[in-house]
Chains A and B, each alone.
Chain A
Amino acid sequence: MKNIRWRILLIAVVIGLSIWSFYPPEQKVKLGLDLKGGVHLVLRVHTDDALRVETETTVERLRESLQRAGVQFAKAEVVSPTEFRVEGIQDDAGFRAAAADAETTYDRSSDAGGYTYRMKPNIEIQLRDQTVTQALETIERRVNELGVAEPVVARYSGADQILVQLPGVEDVRRAKEIIRSTAQLKLTLVEQGPFTTREAALQAYNNNVPSDIEILPGRQEGTGTAGTAGTVFYAVRRAAAVTGRDLRNAQQSLDEFNRPAVQFSLKQDAAARFGNFTQANIGRPMAIVLDNRVMSVATIQSRITDSGQITGISREEMLDTVITLKSGALPASMDYLEERTVGPSLGAESIRAGFFSSLAGLGFVVLFMVFYYKLTGFNAVISIVTNLIILLGLMAFMGSVMTLPGIAGFILTIGMGVDSNVLIFERIREELATGRGVRAAVNAGFDRVWWTIVDTHVSSLIAALLLLQFGTSTIRGFAVTLIIGLLSNVFTAVFVSRTAFELVLSRRQTAAQTLSI
């Protein structure tokens, strides 16, 4: 008798904790995108971009140190995102000394024409990984700026893939724009320009633009705000003196004519580099390039160390630029590999349909069990309902997400509950048929079936665990529901149901002769 009290207490505590954990459900149970509405995005980070920037910067620095050392060379150019080539070196020893810096991150191989430098494999892997991590952190900050509740930003299956889930977002297009805008800032020298057309710019190089120069569009200086401004073209150095990665902060400000501007400051090491760069190029025009568009061009007046200003922009542009620059530039461009958008109305319908069909399934099972097993059927109903309560409670507690297939998981959990109970009840009936007493039959029923229940649950668990590897949240939701449901079913079908039996049997004064089964 005492034993039963403890069992009932334990069950009551479990049920109480579960209800406390998921009540009120509309606040505590997290809904997946397919039920709540929202967007699931998978982005691919073009890590090559970041590698190319690194290689370009290295080549640029090498050129400078060669110049400083007075070493003559014919050509130094980027061949691929991870390779560059130097040809026509006059003074090999002098070159090797000047290139020592580059050789910490690049492997050198020599041939007849010159040297080819290839990024060291471990550095390449590290840099790619760093790029994805940086992109992820940047996206996280931007998503927070968007004000989305409970967003998910995580690495996805491929090494260069990022998963972004934004529940409840309705303006998907805007969200996608903001996430993807690279906000790649670049301060670089203007070689020639402005030209009025791209053709004119190309003409200046006889249609043969050197690999270290690129033609970028920009706004005509002195014309009004964006949109009305005429477009001009500049030939600028590909290798940047400073990139978005070097940025420490960006904030709203005004230029000397009280027009909107963005003030930015540089990190310490970048500031030193920028100081040298500006000192060496006093009197030359420098462009501030944002996402491959020249925002403004100014002549370098003096050595600049740690700050700069983007001018000639509209108020809206200023606000957007501050947000994107502040959240950090993306270290590389990205594209979307997958997008799944569910409108909130469709989600609400799915909830209704899922809820209704679960209820229909549960109602049917309850009726059947009570009809078929009479009073004992209530034991099954108690254990199945307890199972659902624990399942909901654990899901809310673990913060796992309820999805449409997850609702199907609830129904399958009901099925598992029925299975275990039927297994036990049928066994008890058989034992009764052989003429055993009620208590002996109940004990035998539970004992004999225990290992069968373990076996069936383990094999179902194996299948459910393998479902977890699908990154899609809907399938994960299903798998998690199944797994929790299976585990708690072992508790409810065996422990709870047995306690219910014991309770009924212990209430009788004399040894029980009959069982309503």
Chain B
Amino acid sequence: MQLLKNPNFDFLRWKWQAIALSVVVILAGLGMIATTGLPLGIDFSGGTLIVVQFEQPVTEEQVRNAVDPLPGEEVVQQYGEAAERRILIRLPQVEEAVEGNSLEQASASVEAALQKAGLPKFAIVNRELVSAVIGRDLQLRGIYAMVASLAAITIYIGIRFRFSFAVGAIVATFHDVLVTLAFLKFFDYELSLNVVAAILTITGYSVNDTIVIFDRVRENLRARRREPLDKVVNESVNQTLSRTIITAGTTFLAVLAIFLFGGEALAGFSFTMLVGIVSGTYSTIFIASALAIILSGAKARTAAATASSGDAVQSGRKQKRARAS
């Protein structure tokens, strides 16, 4: 069975439209983030998060009324299926108290408030207390991990491929990170540690796709020096199209299984992965190669010129031999 028989789509014809679409999505996302901020999860903002399981069904409204008198703005929402009777309560980080059990105070006051309101019996199944110190620390680490990972991948691709390709790949990866952030904002997901882990995974994943196409471009360039670069690139995208779609499709469905059945704890993580996979595939096909061509365009119109420019890095013994001959 074969999904696509000798596909021959002219992807590069759509490059400007594709870039425009990406720019619109990213700007919309960044605009929303700039105005209303990216909701930070408890890992980064600090605060108190409690998941309470009630013995009898209660409504979010009842719980909200019960904890309303507490200082700060509380978030109350159902956690998981309604039948599980679990409610998530989140309190913001209050001023860092001087000493003592300050971390526990918010959690204790929630328990007291729930008891006072005469709600059914409950047990705490999950409790996360994060102080501002840890929140700030994790924020810094998150930013550092993001920057370092992008930088390291750029360097690696820069070594393995020629510069314009490295830029194309890394811009595509940035693109995926930004699109993912935009979608997190559109769907109101919080930026938690798990989500950051997913975004980092996406950077690795997105580069993968791009590398596969670029490897093929490099190989094709050696065989067909006379042809225009954009034609070779477009053909390479088509040659690897089956692989791109099958890999993205299977990974997407596998992650979809986590999103659907993995429970509340992995929802943000798997949502991020899903967006990242789609965006990664899209950017690989439409953005990365288009950028690589645009960037090399000014200098080299044909494959002959670029291939002989000497910076097309050899890969593998076979190719080395090919170059030597």
Contacts and interface: CB of A to CB of B under 8 A. Distances in A.
Interface of A: 34, 42, 44, 157-158, 333, 335-343, 345-346, 349-350, 353-354, 356-358, 360-362, 364-365, 368, 371-374, 404-405, 407-408, 411-412, 414-415, 418-419, 422-423, 426, 429-430, 447-448, 450-452, 455-456, 458-464, 466-467, 469-470, 472, 474-475, 478-479, 482
A415 B251 contact: yes
Contacts of B306: none
Given A338-B134, A339-B103, A405-B269, A456 B208 contact: yes
A422 B212 CA distance: 12
Interface string B134-169: 100110011011001100110011001000000000
Contacts of B3: 372
Interface string B197-212: 1001101110110011
B243 A422 contact: yes
Given A422-B243, A460-B204, A350 B265 contact: yes
B297 interface: no
A472 B208 CA distance: 27
B23 interface: no
A335 B254 contact: no
A372 B130 CA distance: 48
A353 B261 contact: yes
B208 A419 contact: yes
Contacts of A157: 137, 141
Given A343-B123, A418-B247, A459 B208 contact: yes
A345 B203 CA distance: 34
A475 B2 CA distance: 38
B258 A466 contact: no
B103 A464 contact: no
Question: Which 7 A-B pairs have CB atoms at the shortest separation, nearest pair first?
Answer: A463-B204, A361-B254, A460-B204, A415-B251, A343-B125, A456-B208, A353-B263
Contact of B100 (A335, A339, A450): A335
A44 B99 CA distance: 11
Given A452-B212, A462-B149, A335 B262 contact: no
A371 B253 CA distance: 16
A335 B99 contact: yes
Contact of B128 (A339, A350, A478): A339
B250 A411 contact: no
25 contacts: A336-B129, A338-B129, A341-B124, A345-B125, A350-B263, A354-B262, A356-B261, A357-B257, A365-B254, A405-B194, A405-B266, A408-B266, A408-B269, A414-B254, A422-B243, A430-B239, A455-B211, A458-B156, A459-B211, A462-B156, A462-B204, A464-B200, A464-B201, A466-B149, A482-B201
Interface of chain A, helix or strand or loop or mixed? helix
B219 interface: yes
Interface in B83-134: 99-104, 123-131, 133-134
A196 B246 CA distance: 81
Interface of chain B, helix or strand or loop or mixed? helix
Contacts of B290: none
A516 to B, nearest CB: 11
Given A343-B124, A357-B262, A408-B262, 8 more contacts: A339-B129, A341-B124, A361-B253, A405-B266, A422-B246, A452-B211, A459-B156, A460-B204
Contacts of A450: 316
A475 B197 contact: yes
B1 A349 contact: no
Nearest to B79: A346
A360 B128 contact: no
Interface in B285-309: none
Contacts of B100: 335
A448 to B, nearest CB: 7
Interface in B260-293: 260-263, 265-266, 269-270, 273
Contacts of A422: 242-243, 246-247, 250
Interface of B: 1-3, 43, 51, 99-104, 123-131, 133-134, 137-138, 141-142, 144-145, 148-149, 152-153, 156-157, 160, 193-194, 197, 200-201, 203-205, 207-208, 211-212, 215-216, 219, 239-240, 242-243, 246-247, 250-251, 253-255, 257-258, 260-263, 265-266, 269-270, 273, 315-316, 318
Contacts of B208: 419, 456, 459-460
Given A415-B251, A451-B215, A361 B258 contact: yes
Contacts of A346: 51, 125-126
B261 A466 contact: no
A405 B100 CA distance: 33
A123 to B, nearest CB: 26
B152 A466 contact: yes
B316 A451 contact: yes
A333 B98 CA distance: 13
A356 to B, nearest CB: 5
Contacts of B104: 336, 339
Given A335-B102, A350-B265, A470 B141 contact: yes
Nearest to B140: A157
Contact of B219 (A357, A365, A448): A448
A8 B315 CA distance: 29
B133 A337 contact: yes
B36 to A, nearest CB: 27
Contact of A455 (B2, B160, B265): B160
A470 B152 contact: no
B254 A415 contact: yes
A44 B133 contact: yes
A456 B3 CA distance: 23
A422 B203 CA distance: 21
Nearest to B202: A463
Contacts of A423: 212, 243, 247
A429 B121 CA distance: 63
B160 A357 contact: no
A167 B127 CA distance: 14
B239 to A, nearest CB: 7
A349 B79 CA distance: 13
Contacts of B131: 336-338
Contacts of A361: 253-255, 257-258
B221 to A, nearest CB: 14
Contacts of A337: 103, 130-131, 133-134
A358 B262 CA distance: 9
Nearest to A172: B127
Contacts of B239: 430
A436 to B, nearest CB: 15
Contact of B127 (A34, A339, A462): A339
Contact of A469 (B141, B203, B211, B253): B141
B200 A463 contact: yes
Nearest to B315: A451
B127 A340 contact: yes
Contacts of A418: 246-247, 250-251
B263 A349 contact: yes
B167 to A, nearest CB: 15
B125 A464 contact: no
A460 B205 contact: yes
A210 to B, nearest CB: 23
Nearest to B249: A368
A362 to B, nearest CB: 8
Contacts of A469: 141, 144-145
